[in-house]
A and B are shown apart, each in its own frame.
Chain A
Amino acid sequence: MADLTTDFLGIKSPNPFWLASAPPTDKEYNVRRAFEAGWGGVVWKTLGMEGPPVVNVNGPRYGVIHGADRRVLGLNNIELITDRDLQTNLDEITRVKRDWPDRAMIVSIMVPCEEQAWKDILPKVEATGADGIELNFGCPHGMSERGMGAAVGQVPEYIEMVTRWCKQYYSKPVIVKLTPNITDIRKPAEAARRGGADAVSLINTINSIVSVDLDTMSPHPSIDGKGTHGGYCGPAVKPIALSMVSEIARAPATAGMPISGIGGVTTWRDAAEYITMGCGNVQVCTAAMTYGFKIVQEMISGLSEWMDEKGHTSIDDFMGAAVPNTTDWQYLNLNYIAKAQINQEDCISCGRCYAACEDTSHQAIAMSEDRTFTVIEEECVACNLCVEVCPVENCITMVEMDAGTVDPRTGKVVEDTYANWTTHPNNPSATAAE
């Protein structure tokens, strides 16, 4: 069986599955049970300043976008950081870390953007024996109105400044958790690196309103008739997070910086994808909140089975493997030509491919009287829409055209060479290929 042991910033964990800072990691009771269930590590629910803790709403905090069968696709929350006393949390962290030395224990922190506030809390966190800290610069609701969370994460200078304080007053690894509520994710990542961060983790939640109650005219979740935007997470955010991760992994200023991938990790496959995109591990919140801690068993068995199948003996074997294949649009090969092909044996004649192509794409599917659907190669631009809307997996496939054959759509011979937009004659700023 493949070895899932992960070494992230020198912090070892038996597998790359950590629970993200959120309700699953809110207290000793949860975290002990999470470790018993097999989680490799946790980022403790974000701690705030000493003194009276924050107060959460006492009505609904969650709203959800459901798929078929009420599957949770996207989760929206308006919860704040921990609403429990600082010392209670610190004592619990100390005890759990002592009893579970082989699991990663990271403490998430959010205190005001003042040096003293950080100077006060960091030694206390250090004393717990936890393996590192994560700076919550991401929470997009409530805390951001108080100048913390995403309010800091949206200003690279603040990120750099606070990170620097943390490196100064804390001896162990510092992870900066980024907010996706920003135009260019590379900027805060660069700032974190400048401030001396050991790693970045992303994403925190995305500003969201999941729905409006059409009777009360209040956004969901509704607190006494009023709602506010919350933070969106769960399977729906994975593509956004994965893209942001790829930007950081690719950008020269941040390349090579350790990344902890977060956002919609629901199965082993999601985790594997994040790792191929350069992440050293993943963090999970919504999947655990939907299915319970036991979900990690599938993640562990699935990842190790896939690694065995591919001959990967360790996480490092495939970490970042997809990064070199992630590029800018302008470098995609325009001489690569494919055509959709419908396997008539698998086709159930639903006509979805036809509707999609005829109404919204390139009118490249023909429908006969007896409901036989065939691709018109003269029209097909290989957009992939039919493949994705067809209810039968692999019924429609994209078939690459061999070099030397003629593309019936353009009448041109398919060339063997690589040629992208930078050299294309239609590009006004084209430069000749070197």
Chain B
Amino acid sequence: MADRVFEPGVTAGRLDPAAYEAHFSDLHPPLDKHEAVVAADRCYFCHDAPCITACPTDIDIPLFIRQIATGTPDAAAKTILSQNIMGGMCARVCPTEQLCEEACVREMAEGKPVLIGQLQRYATDHLQVQGVHPFVRAEPTGKRVAVVGAGPAGLSAAHRLAMLGHDVVVYDAKPKAGGLNEYGIATYKTPDGFAQGEVDWLLKIGGITVETGRALGADLSLEGLRAKFDAVFLGMGLGGVNALGVEGADKDGVLDAVDFIAELRQASDVASVPVGRDVVVIGGGMTAIDAAVQSKLLGALNVTLVYRRGRDAMNASVFEQDLAASKGVRIVTHATPKAVHGNGSVREIEFDYVGDDMMPTGQTLRLAADQVFKAIGQTLEGDALPDLEGRKIAVDTNGRTSVKGVWAGGDCASGGDDLTVTAVAEGRDAAMDIHADLSGSV
């Protein structure tokens, strides 16, 4: 162990270079051909397969696995990508243990599902490394669609619309396209620039212009887009974060977990990203887990994830919780922040232990903290948007909003869980509805 792990305060370079390399490489190394065929052989080719039903994008899983088993991984990739153009990313980031693999009949029977996610990665990687784009555009329709947000929802919609012959302009506020694929997903789930590579590959369909650094609410308005385009798709995700709302929350070192994660994803060298010796993460979702795990991987000595309810209520799957535990993250439950202490910068954070009714029990907990990462949920930003349902844009099952000619999908839209794969599904389905609308068939 390098000495610098004991160094107090927030500092970069706590580990030696080899440790960083090992910590941020692929979480699940890819299957080789032999492993893929052995894994594929376990699939029963179920009728009306439960795994398909469990996949938000309805990928024909038994078919693509059989295509792998019969030696045609590129055909398998086409089966996947025709339903889910980000099948490569989803293979890496989907919580399969809560989706397809949970539903697999072999999970029921033996507790060992077919490795659907890893097989999906095998197939999509096989096609994508060849630089082949398997779809071709339909004849141009002359219709133009604006997409706001180049995350999974926006890019999925854009790809489908372009494939159907429409011209698409994608606007994104950030300097790079990809949304949370580029700025949010844990580094070890998508190393080696995969996110950017996938965006470049996706855009090969043609007919899509991406304009980065352009934000709705800043230089673009919904009214303006409606006037210029035949349809608008909103896929801007959740740009804001919830406030902690306790005494001392404005102290230095109290940060948004998503900002920390984005900094890490964008760093050219992870060793340059500073991290505290004592880190506390507040939240119970994927963002909290990712912030906690990556703090630990950066060399933080003590990382505690504090969640206000019990483990079973956490949004993060059991797999994710176990991953955090295996990396040395301590998980504390039933505690809510009470106050942040410190002189200018955070030194300690104090929690109330709470009962199931969220009422303080009178017991408290104080944790040393050089950094506190808030991961207590993201919020929709912006005004002059279509009607909301709760805190998101209200949509019907086809992604239509209250404003004519405006659709929405992904994290910013109501319904669905906030997952990459759901965003892809909603973008695709809205695109189909936009297409039907523009072709005058509805």
Contacts and interface: CB of A to CB of B under 8 A. Distances in A.
Contacts of A393: 34
B120 interface: no
Nearest to A301: B75
A195 B78 CA distance: 47
B34 A302 contact: no
Interface stretch (B40-48, B236-244, B271-279): B40-48
Interface in B203-219: none
B42 A269 contact: no
B66 interface: yes
B45 A291 contact: yes
Determine the main DSSP class of A at the interface with B.
helix
Interface string A381-404: 000000000001100000000000
A268 B72 contact: yes
B162 to A, nearest CB: 20
Nearest to B76: A301
A267, A292, A301, A393 pick with most chain B CB within 10 angstroms = A301
A267 B45 contact: no
B67 interface: yes
A305 B75 contact: yes
Contacts of B79: 301
B361 interface: no
Contacts of A268: 70, 72
Interface string A281-308: 0000000000110110110011001100
Given A268-B72, A292-B47, A306-B72, A301 B67 contact: yes
Contacts of B75: 298, 301-302, 305
A392 B34 contact: yes
B419 interface: no
Interface in B44-80: 45, 47, 62-63, 66-67, 70-72, 74-75, 78-79
Contacts of B42: 69
Contacts of A392: 34
A265 to B, nearest CB: 12
B63 A69 contact: no
A343 to B, nearest CB: 13
Contacts of B78: 301
A298 B34 contact: no
Band of interface residues on A: 10 to 19
A426 B34 CA distance: 44
B47 A298 contact: no
B72 A302 contact: yes
A69 B70 contact: no
Given A305-B74, A306-B72, A298 B67 contact: yes
B218 to A, nearest CB: 45
Given A392-B34, A393-B34, A298 B41 contact: no
Interface in B1-54: 34, 41-42, 45, 47
Nearest to A297: B63
A402 to B, nearest CB: 29
Interface in B71-94: 71-72, 74-75, 78-79
Contacts of A69: 41-42
Nearest to A290: B45
A424 B75 CA distance: 48
Nearest to B66: A298
Contacts of B74: 305
Interface in A345-378: none
Contact of B67 (A291, A292, A294, A302): A302
Interface in A250-271: 267-269
Contacts of A294: 45, 47, 62-63
Contacts of B72: 268, 298, 301-302, 305-306
Nearest to A268: B70
A231 to B, nearest CB: 24
A217 to B, nearest CB: 33
Nearest to B74: A305
A147 to B, nearest CB: 40
Contact of B71 (A269, A292, A295): A269
Interface of A: 69, 267-269, 291-292, 294-295, 297-298, 301-302, 305-306, 392-393
30 contacts: A69-B42, A268-B70, A268-B72, A269-B70, A291-B45, A292-B47, A294-B45, A294-B47, A294-B62, A294-B63, A295-B66, A298-B63, A298-B66, A298-B67, A298-B70, A301-B67, A301-B72, A301-B75, A301-B78, A301-B79, A302-B67, A302-B71, A302-B72, A302-B75, A305-B72, A305-B74, A305-B75, A306-B72, A392-B34, A393-B34
